[in-house]
Amino acid sequence: MRKTQPSDPSLAKKAKPVPAEPAAGERIQKVLARGGIGSRREIERWIEEGRLKLNGAVVTLGTRIKTGDFLQLNDRVVNWEKFTKQPTRVLLYHKPTGEVVTRRDPEGRPVIFTQLPGLTASRWIAVGRLDINTSGLLLVTNNGELANRLMHPSTQVEREYAVRILGEVPTGIIEKLKQGVELEDGKAKFDEIRFYAGEGANKWYYVTVTEGRNRLVRRLWESQNIVVSRLIRVRYGPVVLPERLKAHSFYELNAQELELLFEFAGMKAE
């Protein structure tokens, strides 16, 4: 987006709601979500706040956009037409510890987006986050609507983690974590806990959650005074971290895999 003023300054002053065009073009929120500008819900909120203008007129929820239309967000031009033809891409990125899931970091820490291939017509969107000390599977896509479907709480997508625990974990605590414990932001639980391996001080478990709350897996263990020494996300929904995918590397889903992911998200395949 470029900071550009409308060709006719009076347009911004005389902006009026523009009527919907049911027979032409696509809904604006759908186009912008596809381009990763925001989720449909976010864009609908922007429309209600009057932040979007089409050909100088304030957009309403029913407004459609077609070739040649002039779109602005917060009075900045949006080059929206490039979002209409791009094919969906999904990458499986193996995030190492030490990287942050953000576009820019004020502390100068490495960010995951510098490790991804460049896009000419949109931007990569991370499907959820992993904190700086958590490694493993991170999905990224250029399709904002797909990302929103996979992250939305109503979808209840399973996230599976491999967790290395320091010390023994009594059976009673395992059951308590499966039944639910109170955290500072509400009750939470593991949907599944499986012992995997380990002798001596370190034990490995696989745990599954269906929420995307910040640092949820660590906080659940820590609520029982258990130290997590390593945390790796190994699965997000139907997508599993490939065994041979090394840290800092990515794998791009092929057409058949994309079709299955669209089906999982309840979307029509391209």
Pick from 83, 107, 132: which residue ends a domain? 83
pLDDT digits (tens, 9 = 90+) for 7-62: 443 334 444 555 444 457 888 988 888 777 877 888 999 999 999 999 999 999 88
CA neighbor of 33 nearest in space, from 45, 23, 22, 24: 45
Co-location of 55 and 177 in the same domain: no
For the chain, give the number of residues: 270
Does residue 126 sit in the same domain as residue 254?
A: yes
CB 11 within 8 A of CB 56: yes
Q: Is residue 4 part of a domain?
A: no
Do 50 and 98 belong together in one domain? no
Residues 6+ apart with CB under 8 A from 122: 35, 36, 82, 83, 86, 142
Quote the domain boundaries for residue 64. Answer: 10-83
CA separation (Å) from 29 to 11, 33, 68, 241? 22, 6, 17, 32
- CA dist 146 and 261 (Å) reads 9
Based on the domain organization, do 213 and 168 belong to the same domain?
A: yes
Please check whether residues 121 and 73 belong to one and the same domain.
no
DSSP helix/strand/coil, 5: coil
From 62, 83, 104, the end of a domain falls on: 83
In this prediction, residue 117 carries a pLDDT of 92
Same domain, 127 and 260: yes
pLDDT of res. 168: 84
Instruction: Tell me, yes or no, whether 29 lies in a domain.
Output: yes
In this structure, are 52 and 96 located in the same domain? Answer: no
Tell me, what amino acid is at 90? V
Report H helices in 67-215: 144-151, 171-179
Regarding whether 138 and 16 lie in a shared domain, the answer is: no
How does the average pLDDT of the chain come out, rounded? 87
Q: Which of 75, 105, 131, 185 is catalytic?
A: 131
Give the tens place of pLDDT for each residue, 76-127.
999 888 776 678 999 999 999 999 998 888 999 999 999 999 887 778 999 9
| 191 catalytically annotated | no
Domains of the chain: total: 3
What mean pLDDT is predicted for residues 263-268?
Answer: 92
Same domain, 33 and 132: no
| Stretch among 172-176, 195-199, 233-237 having the lowest mean pLDDT | 195-199
Question: Are 199 and 131 contacting, i.e. CB atoms less than 8 angstroms apart?
Answer: no
Q: Are 244 and 231 in the same domain?
A: no
Q: What is the CATH classification number for the domain harbouring 197?
A: 3.30.2350.10
In a domain, 3, yes or no: no
**Do 228 and 165 fall within a single domain?**
yes
* Residues whose CB falls within 8 Å of the CB of residue 210, separated by 6 or more in sequence, listed in order: 156, 157, 158, 159, 191
Rg over CA atoms, the chain = 22
Q: What does the pLDDT read at residue 85?
A: 66
Is there a single domain that holds both residue 244 and residue 137? yes
Last residue of a domain, one of 56, 83, 110: 83
